[in-house]
A and B are shown apart, each in its own frame.
Chain A
Amino acid sequence: MKKTHFSIFMLFLAFILLITDPLSPKEFPQFKQPVLITSAGQSAEVQLASVLAKRAGLNYSLSKTATSRDLADVKTIALVIGTSLKGLGAAGLDMSQENERVSSLIKATQQFNIPILCLHLGGEQRRGTLSDQMIKTVLPFAQHVIVVKSGNKDGLFTEICNTHSIPLIEVERAADALEPLKNAFL
Chain B
Amino acid sequence: MLKIKRHLIFGSVFLLGAMALGYFSGKSFMSMHIDDHIFPSSGLTENKMLSEYFPKLKKTPGDTPVFIFQGEQPGRNILILGGAHPNEPAGTIAAILLVENIHVQAGKVIIIPWANHSGFTHNDPQEGSPQRFSIRTQDGQRWFKYGSRLTNPIHQWPDPTVYINPSGQKLAGTECRNLNRSYPGRRNGNLTEKIAFGIMEVLISENIDLALDLHEAAPEYPVINAIVFHESSAEIASIAFMELQLSNLEFRLEASPPNLRGLSHREWGDFAKVKAVLLETANVSHGRLKGKPSASLITEGRDKNYVKADKLGRLFVPFKEEGIPLKLRVARHLASIEALISALQEEDPTKIFAIHGLPSMERVKIEGIGQFLAPPK
Contact = CB atoms under 8 A, between A and B. Distances in A.
A51 B255 contact: no
Interface stretch (B144-152, B244-252, B292-300): B244-252
A54 B229 CA distance: 19
Interface stretch (A23-31, A65-73, A85-93, A156-164): A85-93
A60 to B, nearest CB: 13
B129 interface: no
Nearest to A92: B259
Q: 8 nearest interchain CB pairs?
A: A175-B242, A90-B257, A44-B253, A47-B238, A51-B238, A173-B245, A47-B234, A44-B255
Interface in A100-154: 122-123, 125
A48 B239 CA distance: 7
23 contacts: A43-B253, A44-B234, A44-B255, A47-B234, A47-B238, A48-B241, A48-B242, A48-B253, A50-B234, A51-B235, A84-B255, A86-B223, A87-B254, A89-B257, A89-B260, A90-B255, A90-B259, A92-B259, A123-B250, A125-B250, A173-B246, A174-B241, A174-B245
A174 B242 contact: yes
B278 to A, nearest CB: 12
B357 interface: no
A45 interface: yes
B245 A86 contact: no
Nearest to A44: B253
B11 interface: no
Given A51-B242, A125-B250, A175-B242, A86 B235 contact: no
A90 B246 contact: no
Nearest to B256: A90
Interface string A51-80: 100100000000000000000000000000
Interface residues of B, number: 22
Contacts of B239: 51
Contacts of A44: 229, 234, 237-238, 253-255
State the majority secondary structure of interface residues on B.
mixed
Nearest to B239: A51
Given A45-B253, A86-B255, 20 more contacts: A43-B253, A44-B229, A44-B234, A44-B253, A47-B235, A47-B238, A48-B238, A48-B241, A51-B242, A86-B257, A87-B254, A89-B257, A89-B259, A90-B256, A90-B259, A173-B245, A173-B246, A174-B245, A175-B245, A175-B246
Interface string B214-239: 00000000010000010000110111
Interface string B257-268: 111100000000
Contacts of A90: 255-259
Interface residues of A, number: 20
Nearest to A85: B222
Secondary structure at the A interface, as helix, strand, loop or mixed, is helix
Contacts of A174: 241-242, 245
Nearest to A87: B255
Contacts, number: 58
Nearest to A125: B252
Given A45-B253, A47-B253, A87-B255, A173 B235 contact: no
A45 B242 CA distance: 11
Contacts of A125: 250, 252
A126 B255 CA distance: 14
Interface string A11-55: 000000000000000000000000000000001110110110010
A122 B241 CA distance: 11
Interface string B337-371: 00000000000000000000000000000000000
Nearest to A148: B245
A151 to B, nearest CB: 12
Contacts of A86: 223, 254-255, 257
A90 B245 CA distance: 25
Contact of B238 (A50, A84, A89, A173): A50
B247 to A, nearest CB: 10
A45 B238 CA distance: 8
A50 B235 contact: yes
A90 B260 CA distance: 8
A99 to B, nearest CB: 20
A44 B228 CA distance: 10
Contacts of B235: 47, 50-51, 54
Contacts of B256: 90
Contact of A173 (B229, B242, B253, B260): B242
Nearest to B260: A89
A44 B245 CA distance: 15
B219 to A, nearest CB: 14
> Which of B234, B242, B243, B254 counts the most A-chain CB atoms under 10 A from its CB?
B242
Contacts of A122: 253
Contacts of A54: 235
B164 to A, nearest CB: 20
